[in-house]
Amino acid sequence: MIITMGDRPDDLRALLDSVAGQDGDRVEVVVVGNGSPVTGADDLPPGVRTVELPENLGIPGGRNAGIEAFGPAGSEVDALLFLDDDGLLPGTDTAELVREAFAADPELGILSFRIADPETGATQRRHVPRLRAADPMRSSRVTTFLGGASAVRTKVIGEVGPLPGEFFYAHEETDLAWRALDAGWMIDYRSDMVLHHPTTAPSRHAVYHRMVARNRVWLARRNLPAPLVPVYLAVWVLLTLARRPSGAALKAWAGGFTEGWRTPCGPRRPMKWRTVWRLTRLGRPPVI
């Protein structure tokens, strides 16, 4: 499933061609126009479904619309691939690797792919979803995933619910990941499942600093046991200040942090303490 704002028609077509070229059973595809028409919809490969939303619902909202295109909670398919519209699957075996991984491990709920720059082959540290990110070629169990390069078993969505649409952008994957882990599912980072994607900085988005801060507060308020909420947020305040953001970035971040406390965050379902221990054993206690 791919969401697009209609501004990358050539990249989108290349991605669709790479999906169509996957080995094994045909991959069902839906393209969501997130507040815009799907550019070149009449020229898409046969069988590609399209959903055109009248307004931009953000990344989680757009993906949720795409999930529903495969039936309630994606029930028409066994697993959902989430791919960025400017990405590309360089290998033809990715879909088969996904099928094999889910078939081999019934507790596995989510797969996070390795994102590599198409020119250099390099993987940014921020694209390795664990604290020990120095070696992107090492696969491992993890506690979150990369939303634009991932696969989710549809049973996970049916059991714990969709992505948090109100987040719009940032941390929506961790919210779903924590709920999945709390329900007993596991998450793997797989270095052999690769998505080519140009190297970019997340701060290119104008809303980045505000939404990162707001959604961090919402994430804690929604999911953490009450004693951990202030600890988790205090750690992130200190980390943010240690990174010495510019004055404008810090002002936007502070506004988002305040907004996170003052606005509704959606339903609160604090994780079990045994899930806190599971996250800790996996190398990322939910205070970091």
DSSP 58-112: HHHHHHHHHHHTTSGGGTTSSEEEEE-TT-B--SS-HHHHHHHHHHH-TTEEEEE
* Tens-level pLDDT at each residue, the chain (288 residues): 999 998 899 999 999 999 999 999 999 999 999 999 997 667 788 889 999 999 999 999 999 999 999 999 999 999 999 999 999 999 999 999 999 999 999 999 999 999 999 999 999 999 999 999 999 999 999 999 999 999 999 999 999 999 999 999 999 999 999 999 999 999 999 999 999 999 877 655 558 899 999 999 999 999 999 999 999 999 999 999 999 989 999 999 999 999 999 999 999 999 999 999 999 999 999 998
What is the reported pLDDT for 199?
Answer: 85
What is the reported pLDDT for 205?
Answer: 54
Q: Residue 204: which of 63, 55, 86, 51 has the closest Cα?
A: 86
Domains of the chain: which residue ranges? 2-200, 205-270
CB atoms near residue 50 (< 10 Å): 16
Which parts of the chain fold into alpha helices (H)?
A: 9-20, 58-68, 94-104, 154-160, 172-182, 208-223, 228-242, 247-262, 273-281
Structure tokens at 112: 């996070």
What is the reported pLDDT for 206?
Answer: 59
What is the reported pLDDT for 267?
Answer: 95
Residues 6+ apart with CB under 8 A from 262: none
> Is the Cβ–Cβ distance between 108 and 115 less than 8 Å?
no
**What pTM, to 2 d.p., does this model score?**
0.95
User: Span 2-200: which CATH code?
Assistant: 3.90.550.60
What is the reported pLDDT for 43?
Answer: 77
DSSP 264: -
Measured distance CA(64)–CA(72) in Å, rounded = 10
